[in-house]
Amino acid sequence: MPDANLRVLVLGGYGFIGAAAARALADAGAEVCIAGRDAAAAVRVMPGWTFQNLDLLHMQSPESWKKILQSRTLVVNCAGALQDRAPGGLEQIHHRAIAALAQACAASGTGLVQISAAGADPAASTAFLRSKAAGDAAVRAAGGRHWILRPGLVIGREAFGGTLLLRMLAAVPLVQPMALGGAQVQCAGLEDVARAVVLAASCDLPPGTYDLVEETPQDLSSVVRRTRHWLGFAPARLTLPVPFWALRAAAWAADALGRLGWRPPLRSIALKVLEAGVTGDPAAFAAAAGPLPPLDQVLARLPSGRAARLEARMALLMPLCVAGLCLFWLASGLIGLWQLREAASVLTGIGWGAGPALASVIFWALADIALGAGILWRPWAARACLAMATVTAVYLLAATWLTPGLWADPLGPLVKVGPALLLALVSHQLLQER
């Protein structure tokens, strides 16, 4: 058990691994402060926890860490990024900031737990793993008390990153899309990763480098099949092989969405990591603290049921909902501009002047186009959905007042608007941050 006087700073303490580590440390009696650059996310995920605003991009020297470490006996680094948002971002976050932190910890006598990644190596195929390896090397070079924990594919109750991708694949009805099915994967339960952090904090785990992975690698196809079974979905009637070029195209599209603020689980770096395999050597941790449980045991102790199935299905549907709304509103606006006079004739037919009718059509067409484009920018997406619902309600009210006859139109143009309003409201909920 950790010392009652243990004061821990968890970097990225509201993230997938960070939140689990922070809760496990607090349950073990440690005083925990979580840190990161998104205070709103911290409040959503860890309400009531002590929070320190901190951006690793601005923590590039040992001096920048000195004041922060004065009241801390241990730092757990769970911060990280899978893919650059700016040139050099991974190097700054995973290497330079961590090198500065490690030097500051060694100078102050503060322990350091570094959450890295299985496969981190200077010669790895991705900048993500290379930058992680550089950070690990910097921690070792700094000396001091340190533990480097390198989890494999982390499986937790919440769907995030690799876990989310697995559940989205498992949620596809009837058929099972599969690419890189032979890729070798070793998993680790989220609570086991958190337990390893607690063991390090209590000094029940000797300082060193440990791969946190199950003993035996398995095919990615097997992991997806087990995930599908755990969720309670019926076995797929057919496995649908996905050609690698299609997978690359999907990753390219995901990268493009990443530049718009989205965080899709399958990006080009994630694809390269999967292609190389997510594996490690379990021997060191097994010798020190016992082997990690295999995937089947990890899944068996995780609650499943309707909520988990619904979450997986909604994660699969959400991109389709956003794409559908985007195309619907863009098409609505562009068709209005394309057939400007025909659209204006609906208003001139009830007595409007030609000028006001044309101006009204142009205004609302441009509003439709703006909303269709706005939903593609992730920071605006949820608000764009509310705006879509509001504008739709305005359309319905105005049409009811000005052109009530459209309700009786054989093609039902107003009747069909209702489902679009409901889709916007549902999408607004799907787009809420966890």
Over the stretch 119-165, which tens digit does the pLDDT of each residue have?
A: 999 998 888 899 999 999 999 999 899 999 999 999 998 877 778 88
Residues 293 and 424 in one domain: no
244 vs 49: CA distance, rounded Å: 44
Torsion, CA 291, CA 117, CA 279, CA 250, rounded to 10: 140
Query: Total structural domains in the chain?
Result: 2
Q: Output the DSSP codes for 68-97.
A: GGGG-SEEEE----SS-SSTTHHIIIIIIH
Q: Round to whole Å and give the CA distance between 207 and 409.
A: 75
Residue 310 located in a structural domain: no
Look at residue 63 in the predicted model and tell me its pLDDT: 95
User: Is residue 2 assigned to a domain?
Assistant: no
| β-bridge pairing 218-219 and 184-185 | antiparallel
**Residue-level pLDDT at 17:** 94
Which is more confidently placed, 158 or 234? 234
pLDDT digits (tens, 9 = 90+) for 177-207: 998 888 899 999 999 999 999 999 999 999 9
Say whether pLDDT at 338 is over 90: yes
Q: Is residue 396 in some structural domain?
A: yes
Tell me the per-residue pLDDT of 381-428, one tens digit each, with 9 for 90 and over.
Answer: 999 999 999 999 998 898 888 888 777 777 777 788 888 899 999 999
**Which residue did the predictor score with more confidence, 262 or 5?**
262
Residue 384 is part of which domain span?
Answer: 318-430
Place 3 in a pLDDT band, splitting at 50, 70 and 90. Answer: low
Residue 87 pLDDT > 80, yes or no? Answer: no
112 and 239 assigned to the same domain: yes
Cα–Cα distance, 214 to 122 (Å, whole number) = 23
d(CA 13, CA 51): 9
Helix (H) or strand (E) holding 409: none
Please tell me whether residues 275 and 323 are part of one structural domain: no
Tell which phi-psi region holds residue 235, choosing left (phi > 0), alpha (psi between -120 and 50) or beta.
beta
- pLDDT, residue 433, reads 65
267-324 pLDDT, tens digit per residue, is 888 888 888 889 999 999 999 999 999 999 999 998 888 888 998 999 889 999 999 9
In a domain, 419, yes or no: yes
Is residue 1 in some structural domain? no
Do 24 and 117 fall into the same domain?
A: yes
- Residues 300 and 324 occupy one common structural domain: no
Averaged pLDDT for residues 111-124 = 94
Q: State the DSSP string of 121-184.
A: -TT-SSHHHHHHHHHHHHHHHH-SSEEEEEE-EEE-SS--THHHHHHHHHTSSSEEEESSTT-E
Return the CA Rg of the chain: 26
Q: Which of 246, 271, 304 is the last residue of a domain?
A: 304
* Residues pairing with 188 in the sheet: 154
Is residue 399 within 8 Å of residue 350, measured between CB atoms? no
Q: Say yes or no: 425 and 367 in one domain.
A: yes
Contact yes or no for 318/431 (Cβ under 8 A): yes
265 and 370, same domain (yes or no): no
Asked if the structure places residue 196 within a domain, the reply is yes
Q: Report yes or no on 109 lying in a domain.
A: yes
Q: Tell me the per-residue pLDDT of 202-227, one tens digit each, with 9 for 90 and over.
A: 999 999 999 999 999 999 999 999 99
Is 311 domain-assigned?
no
Task: Report how far residue 9's alpha carbon sits from residue 18's, in angstroms, rounded to the nearest whole number.
Answer: 10
- My answer on whether 274 and 352 are in the same domain is no
Query: What span, in angstroms and rounded, lies between the C-alpha atoms of 179 and 205?
Result: 38
Domain boundary among the residues 247, 276, 304 is at 304
Do 298 and 415 sit in the same domain of this protein? Answer: no
Same domain, 196 and 88: yes
CATH code for the domain in which residue 18 is found: 3.40.50.720
Confidence band, pLDDT 50/70/90 cuts, at residue 263: confident
Residue 415, pLDDT score? 82
- Confidence band, pLDDT 50/70/90 cuts, at residue 434: low
pLDDT digits (tens, 9 = 90+) for 38-61: 898 899 999 999 999 998 989 999
Edge-to-edge strands of the sheet including 7-11?
51-53, 31-36, 7-11, 74-77, 111-115, 146-151, 208-212
For helices 306-338 and 220-231, what crossing angle results, to 10°? 100
Are 260 and 342 in a shared domain? no
Q: What is the largest CA-CA distance in the chain?
A: 85
325 shares its domain with 286? no
Domain edge (last residue) among 279, 304, 329: 304
Distance from the first to the final alpha carbon of the chain = 31
Residue scoring higher pLDDT (269 or 92): 92
Which segments within 179-229 are labelled E, that is strand?
184-185, 187-189, 208-212, 218-219
Angle, in degrees to the nearest 10, between helices 190-201 and 16-27:
50
Mean pLDDT, residues 104-132 taken together: 93
Strands (E), 172-313: 175-178, 184-185, 187-189, 208-212, 218-219, 238-241
